Amino acid sequence: MQDQMSALDLFGKDRLTVLGKTPLVAETPESLLDDDTTPISRFFIRNNGLFPERIEDPDAWRFTVDGEVEHPLDLSLAELKSRFPVKTFRMVLECGGNGRAFFEPQAEGNAWTNGGAGCAEWTGVSLCDVLRAAGLKDTARFTGHFGADPDNTGSFEKQAMSRGMPMAKALEEHTLLVWAMNGEPLPFVHGGPLRLVVPGWPGSLSQKWLTRIWVRDREHDGPGMTGLSYRVPVHPLAPGADAGQVETRILESMPVRSIVTAPADGFRLAAGTRRIAVRGAAWAGDDTVARVDCSIDGGATWVPAQMTLPRNPYDWVRWTADIALPGDGYYEIAARATDSLGRAQPFRAVNWNPNGYGCNVMHRVVVRVGEGA
């Protein structure tokens, strides 16, 4: 898989934008996220290492649960499917660096715009059911996640990524051990045959090619948990400042975000058009979306959008708005989502951090009405 563009073709991807070749990283243009359920062909790719070896019999895949448990488990995927209640939820998965390209100055890492997110139907079992079967000790505080993928050099001596979460998040019903996506066996490129899906939090927690859950008595310290990795400053940092001695916290719930999925950026309308139908999606990490508003005049006035009800927690909200156009010309349509705690998206990024996490600046698309616009 040296030719990463060929890899996208191999995995059946539809017009994704490659952001990195080794490891393979690709985002989805916002206009291709126009479905209620994101098709697998349009779901973003985020790898932290190289691909592991494929397994011929997915049901033979094994993973363990050990550490601060009374009864360590060593289960095959077939046993997992038969032993625990099977659940399907439609939930957003989002890269922690989604929106990174909008920071000024540019932060380190892949220059995601808004396409490091998708909303699929995930089928599996609740991690909480498996952890309870293992019997959590009173000392169980945190998880550590391990996958089969080697690091960027091809070495298996250390994990490409090994993050973890507080036990409260691990015990949420919607935190799943997943083997199917949109009703199909979980594709290899998305972590098949078995992965975690930890909704609302950075996608790096949702370990692909899952081999082990280590229950710990303290915060996990694997790759992706220390230094500045998936951490943000506790106090606001001046853009471009040195964060070497700054107090940080782990990035947990992702911020509220909305995207315009139609019209696409650069869309042209016939002269004399005086109304435009706009639609998109919004989500809010652990919280819910309270409202979405659109503006064509830089925020001087706002048009409230109509929102659909999510299917289950962590599903995204689909929204529509009918906007009046005062005349021919050039317009920027901005979409602003507000979450259940009253936090709205900003016009510009204000939470700069060296690795570019958590940027949720408003999405804007340009439309032109008339030939001369």
Q: What is the CATH number of the domain that holds 291?
A: 2.60.40.650
Together in a domain, 78 and 128: yes
Concatenated DSSP letters for 270-298?
-TT--EEEEEEEEE-TTS-EEEEEEESST
What pLDDT does 220 receive? 98
Together in a domain, 151 and 56: yes
Domain closes at, from 186, 215, 250: 250
Together in a domain, 32 and 152: yes
Together in a domain, 189 and 277: no
Together in a domain, 53 and 156: yes
What pLDDT does 4 receive? 46
Together in a domain, 100 and 70: yes
Structurally, the chain folds into a number of domains equal to 2
Q: Could you tell me the residue range of the domain that residue 281 belongs to?
A: 257-369
Together in a domain, 128 and 10: yes
Together in a domain, 181 and 278: no
Together in a domain, 23 and 75: yes
Q: How far apart are CA 53 and CA 62, in angstroms?
A: 14
- Pair 345, 360: CB distance under 8 Å: yes
Together in a domain, 355 and 282: yes
Q: What HEC string does 305-336 produce?
A: CEECCCCCCCCCEEEEEEEECCCCEEEEEEEE
Domain closes at, from 250, 277, 306: 250
What does the pLDDT average to over 154-183? 96
Together in a domain, 246 and 313: no
The answer to pTM > 0.85 is: yes
Q: How far apart are CA 36 and CA 263, in angstroms?
A: 16
What pLDDT does 182 receive? 98
Q: Is the pLDDT of residue 243 over 90?
A: no
187-233 residue pLDDT tens: 999 999 999 999 999 999 999 999 999 999 999 999 999 999 999 99
Domain closes at, from 192, 224, 250: 250
